[in-house]
Amino acid sequence: MGVYPEIEPYDHGMLDVGDGNRVYWEVCGNPRGKPAVMLHGGPGSGCGAWYRRYCDPAVYRIVLLDQRGCGRSTPRASDYETDMSVNTTAHVIRDLELLRGHLGIERWLVWGVSWGSVLGLRYAQTHPDAVSELVLTGVATGSNPEVAMLTKGLGKIFPEAFERFLAELPEGERDGNLAAAYNRLIESPDPEMRARAARAWTDWETAIVPAPPRSVERYEDPAFRMGFARTVTHYFGNDHFLGEGNDEGVVLRDAPLLKGIPGTLVQGSLDLGNLLGIVWRLHHAWPGSELVVVDDAGHNAGAPGVVDVLVAATDKYAESWAG
């Protein structure tokens, strides 16, 4: 099956969302089609052109955006002067609502990958009337145990890379919240320290998440590397800004709020995020969800088998569109 052919947006712009932030958005596909919004990962990755290709452009009105601080949105997290205190989950959810209103959309399908699945789930829990369906892959819920597993737990599986990862941190900060410790380095006034920390963080990301070449190559861009590492550690080091109770998992706790929203969860069997069983627990706590596990695939929305299931899901949800 594969993805749909390449297309170009028919409309785009910069939305003033407040706090000095302007968010880039674009729309492609059918102007009168079923609305869908594509949520990228990271946080801080930005939304590439390939996100346009998971929905049938003849049927869908496909909305892409670069979340605060990344991609074409301004100001960028790579700029040391950018205020990160106004880049939180609640702020980005508010941005989605502002964009939905700006585009005159009543309800939209929410598609998300990795961090985008965390954001999509929390958005749907907060604004269930705005979401027609959810299609999520590389599924995560942003709980503190997930962050601990990604920053510490995998150290036993990748010991050499983990030793290098720890080496960049002061000795007294190697036992606590490693993401928060890295964020403190990245927020340092010393540009050399910030640069070393950003490189060490992305080296660890590359070691634990096998990814296609384009995902690895982007880390060679110093501006992308800094913006990405700063944003990820900002969220990972602050409970994903999900509030009290995230040691157990706020999104998972609130899964019953998704009742009535159809959803498809597409997970690679080799995705190391599976080690905590989060996606299975989410599926069983979310009435009306479907879980599809793709053999021999990891944390990659572009893996052939994963792509086929994601496209089949958006095709299925398009069947009920009456225009």
Residues marked as catalytic = 114, 271, 299
Question: Would you list the DSSP string of 149-190?
Answer: HHHTGGGGTSHHHHHHHHHTS-GGGSSS-HHHHHHHHHT-S-
User: How far apart are the two ends of the chain, measured CA to CA in Å?
Assistant: 25
CA atoms of 15 and 101, how far apart (whole Å): 11
Say if residue 189 is preceded by a cis peptide, omega within 30 of 0: no
| 3-class secondary-structure state, position 38 | strand
CA atoms of 152 and 292, how far apart (whole Å): 28
Cβ neighbors of 277 (< 8 A, separation 6 or more) are none
